[in-house]
Amino acid sequence: MTDQDARPDETATPPIGLHNLKPAPGSRKARKRVGRGEGSGLGKTSGRGQKGAGSRSGAKDRTRFEGGQMPLHMRMRKLRGPHMKKSMPFEPFRTHTQAVNLKDLDRRFESGAEVTLEALLAAGLGTRRKGVKVKVLAKGELSKPLTVHAHAFSAAAREAIEAAGGSAHVVEA
């Protein structure tokens, strides 16, 4: 037996446990301690420079501050009202709906099936997000009678469902 055989394997890693967990090298960094003497490299002016607005307390170091120039959110157009897509750039009046087409209902449900919101979700057509309403649209053909429950229907979709022998029921949110 040689000397090398007697040494434990240095490449083997010890088992992971709570006693030997530590962050990845370089993932943690010590915070910057400013104003702690010239030897630290951030003494005296604490990295702020000599004079100017940036060296004073209360300096505008907000992310949106543009040096006194008219800020972007104030330069944007301000068309009021919910009636235009481009009004109010942040769209507070926009309503969201989940569209479901007739061709998808025809493809995924059997004749005479009860199509509820839960059934739509199970078939991969509805949405899990709370407050998003489901609207049935008339894209495609419906060849079988279905009882469809949804928050809204387009007029053409309602006509197509009833023409196929089914019924459309509006669900209150």
Helix (H) / strand (E) containing 169:
strand 167-170
pLDDT of residue 65: 83
Please tell me whether residues 130 and 114 are part of one structural domain: yes
88 and 127 in a single domain? The answer is: no
Please say whether the beta carbons of 133 and 126 come within 8 A.
no
User: How many domains are there within the chain?
Assistant: 2
Phi, psi of 147 (to 5 degrees): -100, 110
Write down the pLDDT at residue 9. Answer: 61
Asked if the structure places residue 21 within a domain, the reply is: no
Cβ(171)–Cβ(150) below 8 Å: yes
Residues 109, 164, single domain; the answer is yes
Q: What is the pLDDT along the chain (173 residues), one digit of tens a residue?
A: 555 555 656 678 888 899 999 999 999 999 999 999 999 999 999 999 999 888 998 887 777 788 889 988 888 777 666 666 665 555 566 678 889 999 999 999 999 899 998 998 889 887 777 778 899 999 999 999 999 999 999 999 999 999 999 999 999 86
Domain contains 107: yes
CATH of the domain at 148: 3.100.10.10
Confidence (pLDDT) at 155: 95
CA dihedral 67, 69, 71, 75 (to 10 degrees): -170
Residues 101, 87: one domain? no
Query: Which segments of 30-137 does DSSP mark as H helices, in order?
Result: 72-75, 102-108, 117-122
Please indicate, yes or no, if residue 127 is contained in any of the structural domains: yes
Last residue of a domain, one of 93, 115, 139: 93
**How is residue 44 written in tokens?**
């005296």
Same domain, yes or no: 138 and 73: no
Please tell me the pTM assigned to this model: 0.48
Q: Same domain for 108 and 79?
A: no
The answer as to whether 75 is a domain residue is: yes
pLDDT (0 to 100) of residue 103: 93
